[in-house]
Amino acid sequence: MIQNFIVRGQVSLFTIGSLGIYGVIFGRMFCGWACPFGTLHDILAKLGGKRTLKKTRFWYTKYIILFLTIILAWFFLDTVFCKFCPSGSLFAAIPYRIIHPNFHYGLFFNIHIVTLIVTVVLALLISRFWCRYLCPLGAIAGAFNKVSLVSINLDESKCVMCKACLENCPMGISSLEEIGKSTDCILCGECIENCQEKALKFIIAK
């Protein structure tokens, strides 16, 4: 939507307002609970095993992708990001080809297939690879985590510093202070489920 309005030279207050309201309430919770491409990553992580649970580095790359998405849409007057997005490959390009087998497919369909394959391979090696490093929508939503009403709270009086929460974090968050606040936290609740001391819980900020 953002790309399309940039191409049209318009400002969509509805789009900006919707993202802002959702972000202030839920932060990046959509990524952990409703994103279909994130679900695929969770399945791939289980196939990859414990080796996929690595610490997050280069967290800022998703913001570089967001910046490039906006700049390229403005410069080329086209939805450039959509021509490479592996999520679009899985949920749009491939289904469209199945439904329309006689349609002529060119370069960008092949690019879609390549980016999807590369993403799947990397997701087997690094848990939630796309979500950590490349998703521009995740970058927008994650920026609201520090102010969102829905968050995760740590009761330090119950915590025994076993760090089971961090060891099982699919996003590779590396410190207790970042749980619920980091731009990488998708509020999936894995840390809560793996805390034997019940030191973590979802909260609604007042």
163 Rama class: left (phi>0) / alpha (psi -120 to 50) / beta: left
pLDDT tens, position by position, 66-83:
999 999 999 999 999 999
The whole-number pLDDT of residue 10 equals 92
pLDDT tens digits, one per residue of 6-19: 999 998 899 899 99
pLDDT grade, residue 46 (50/70/90)? confident
Residue 31 has pLDDT above 60, yes or no: yes
With bands split at pLDDT 50, 70 and 90, how would you rate the model's confidence at 107?
confident
Task: Write out pLDDT tens, residues 142-175.
Answer: 999 999 999 999 999 999 999 999 999 999 998 9
What is the Cα–Cα distance from 1 to 23, expressed in whole angstroms? Answer: 16
The β-bridge partners of 151 are 203
The residues spanned by each domain of the chain are 2-204
Average per-residue pLDDT in the chain?
Answer: 92
Average pLDDT (171-200) is 95
- Its pTM stands at 0.88
More confident residue, 50 or 21: 21
SS3 annotation, the chain: CHHHHHHHCCCCHHHHHHHHHHHHHHCCHHHHHCCHHHHHHHHHHHHHCHHHCCCCCCCCHHHHHHHHHHHHHHHHCCCCHHHCCHHHHHHHHHHHHHHCCCCCCCHHHHHHHHHHHHHHHHHHHCCCHHHHHCCHHHHHHHCCCCCCCEEEEECCCCCCCCCHHHHCCCCCCCCHHHCCCCCCCCCCCHHHHCCCCCCEEEEECC
**So what's the pLDDT on residue 52?**
54
pLDDT value, residue 48: 77
In Å, what is the CA distance from 153 to each residue of 27, 32, 40, 159, 203? 14, 17, 27, 11, 6
